[in-house]
Amino acid sequence: TQLLEQSPQFLSIQEGENLTVYCNSSSVFSSLQWYRQEPGEGPVLLVTVVTGGEVKKLKRLTFQFGDARKDSSLHITAAQPGDTGLYLCAGGAMEYGNKLVFGAGTILRVKS
């Protein structure tokens, strides 16, 4: 089992639809980071959430950190083809020495 479970593994939607992807764990995290990786490129940091219950917005992307700091979600409103990519969550669990671990990611494909 992975420390960070991301769901769904793959999502294919039409342009204009809304979607939510999840990052879950049974462990408490000091912070969580979200990255997007486009085909042929490396991951790029989107946001870091550090406080339980925190909500951060980045244009059409809304990130939420769970109250207990065990999970996070990414909601995209009115998805566009440019949102296509692999979305990765990563964080440090206190019980594992706060070393950064990654989830396996959610592949998002937005069709025009």
Contacts with another protein by CB under 8 A lie at 2, 4, 9, 29-31, 33, 35, 40-45, 48, 88, 90-92, 98-105
Q: Which is nearer to another protein, 83 or 103 (CB)?
A: 103
Give the whole-angstrom CA distance, residue 86 versus residue 1.
20
Give the whole-angstrom CA distance, residue 16 versus residue 81.
9
Query: What six digits make up the tokens of 68?
Result: 């207990």
Q: What's the Cα-to-Cα distance from 28 to each of 5, 43, 85, rounded to whole Å? A: 13, 24, 27
Query: What six digits make up the tokens of 106?
Result: 């959610």
Distance of closest approach, residue 1 Cβ to another protein, in angstroms? 11
Q: Which is nearer to another protein, 42 or 112 (CB)?
A: 42
Give the whole-angstrom CA distance, residue 100 versus residue 8.
21
Give the whole-angstrom CA distance, residue 82 versus residue 77.
13
Q: Which is nearer to another protein, 2 or 80 (CB)?
A: 2
Distance of closest approach, residue 16 Cβ to another protein, in angstroms? 28
Distance of closest approach, residue 20 Cβ to another protein, in angstroms? 20
Q: Which is nearer to another protein, 35 or 63 (CB)?
A: 35
Distance of closest approach, residue 78 Cβ to another protein, in angstroms? 27
